[in-house]
């Protein structure tokens, strides 16, 4: 049986697809990896908000699934929209890796530093921690952003720790931010295997129940905040409690809330937007 696995074509995405393929291989199963270019890959200069915000790295993969050009799409779960398109489901979440954000180029945040990131969530929390920072937009794959830090003379860049770990680049990390410093993006650190409804059996054996529970709570909280919210939001479940965050992108205000009900937590966050 041949299973066609779709993935973005970056080095990290293909590494993640290989991780997924290793979980899916079994006697009689052949895996074919199919790279697919997404809108976020084609335009590496505009801010995410100008090319569609969430979903810019998954839309084309989802279209390929619906058109039956692939059987499974491998996503960084944090890149997915808060709800699945009609006809598609996340059939499996692989066991979550480190969900934290990582500081590369320095071992601490210090006043006046120039820090690169394209994430409004990271920008808001960094400026709340240290208002004197200069946050500079920085896009590209991990290797590109690490290179641009040196080329542009930035003091540091902030990236997802899991991506650096998966590429064998943990040596670049000077500090891993704890969630009480920088709350991670909903689903950060998890890989999602998306399939057509009815094809869940293709990936069911790879599903990690604890990761599913935590990630789906985070996604539900963000979905409940609502599409009309323009403020940076985040949600993270540590296995014990669910924490949500909403903030101003300039770091001038930030609110955290803790709750057991993801929807109620999301609605509470939405009511705090200023």
Give the ranges where the chain is alpha helix by DSSP (H): 11-24, 39-42, 59-66, 120-129, 142-151, 161-166, 209-225, 262-272
Residue 229 has pLDDT above 90, yes or no: no
Q: What is the mean pLDDT of residues 62-82?
A: 94
Same domain, 140 and 158: yes
What's the whole-number average pLDDT of the chain?
Answer: 92
Same domain, 67 and 202: yes
Residue 49 has pLDDT above 80, yes or no: no
What is the model's pLDDT at position 228?
66
Buried b (16+ CB within 10 A) or exposed e, 24-57: beeeeeebebbebebbbbeeeeeebeebeebbbb
Give the count of domains, the chain.
3
Residue 106's pLDDT band, with cuts at 50, 70 and 90, is very high
Q: What is the mean pLDDT of residues 60-82?
A: 94
Ranges 45-54, 116-125, 145-154, 248-257: which has the least confidence: 45-54
Q: What is the mean pLDDT of residues 4-8?
A: 96
What is the model's pLDDT at position 230?
77
With beta carbons less than 8 A apart as the criterion, state whether 259 and 268 touch: yes
Same domain, 91 and 10: yes
Same domain, 76 and 117: no
Please identify every residue annotated as catalytic.
79
What is the model's pLDDT at position 55?
72
* CATH code where residue 158 lies: 3.40.190.10
What is the model's pLDDT at position 44?
52
Same domain, 221 and 260: yes
Q: What is the mean pLDDT of residues 221-236?
A: 88
Residue 52 has pLDDT above 50, yes or no: no
What is the model's pLDDT at position 48?
47
Buried b (16+ CB within 10 A) or exposed e, 178-205: ebebbbbbbbbbbbbbbbbeebeebbee
Closest CA to 57 of 76, 72, 71, 70: 76
Domain span including residue 23? 1-96+190-207
| CB-count exposure of residue 223 (10 Å: 0-12, 13-18, 19+) | middle
Domain-embedded: residue 183: no
Percent above pLDDT 90 for the chain: 85
């Amino acid at each position: 049986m041949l299973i066609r696995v779709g993935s973005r074509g970056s080095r990290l995405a293909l590494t993640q697809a290989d991780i997924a393929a290793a979980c899916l291989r079994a006697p009689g199963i052949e895996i074919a990896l199919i790279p697919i270019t997404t809108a976020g890959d084609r335009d590496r200069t505009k801010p995410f908000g100008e090319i569609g915000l969430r979903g810019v790295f998954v839309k084309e993969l989802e279209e390929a699934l619906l058109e039956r050009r692939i059987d499974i799409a491998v996503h960084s779960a944090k890149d997915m929209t808060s709800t699945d398109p009609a006809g598609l489901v996340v059939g499996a979440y692989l066991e979550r890796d480190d969900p934290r954000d990582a500081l590369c180029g320095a071992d601490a945040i210090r006043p006046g530093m120039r820090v690169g990131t394209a994430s409004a969530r990271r920008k808001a929390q960094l400026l709340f921690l240290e208002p004197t920072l200069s946050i500079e937009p920085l896009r590209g794959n991990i290797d590109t952003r690490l290179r641009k830090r040196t080329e542009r003379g930035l003091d540091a860049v902030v990236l997802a720790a899991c991506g650096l770990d998966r590429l064998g680049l943990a040596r670049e990390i000077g500090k891993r931010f704890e969630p009480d410093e920088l709350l991670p993006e909903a689903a950060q650190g998890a890989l999602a295997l998306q399939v057509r409804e009815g094809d869940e059996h293709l990936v069911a054996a790879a599903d990690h129940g604890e990761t599913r529970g935590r990630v789906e709570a985070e996604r539900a909280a963000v979905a409940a905040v609502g599409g009309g919210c323009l403020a940076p939001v985040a949600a993270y479940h540590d296995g014990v409690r669910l924490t949500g965050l909403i903030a101003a992108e300039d770091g001038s205000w930030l609110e955290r809330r803790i709750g057991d009900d993801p929807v109620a937590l999301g609605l509470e966050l939405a009511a705090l937007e200023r």
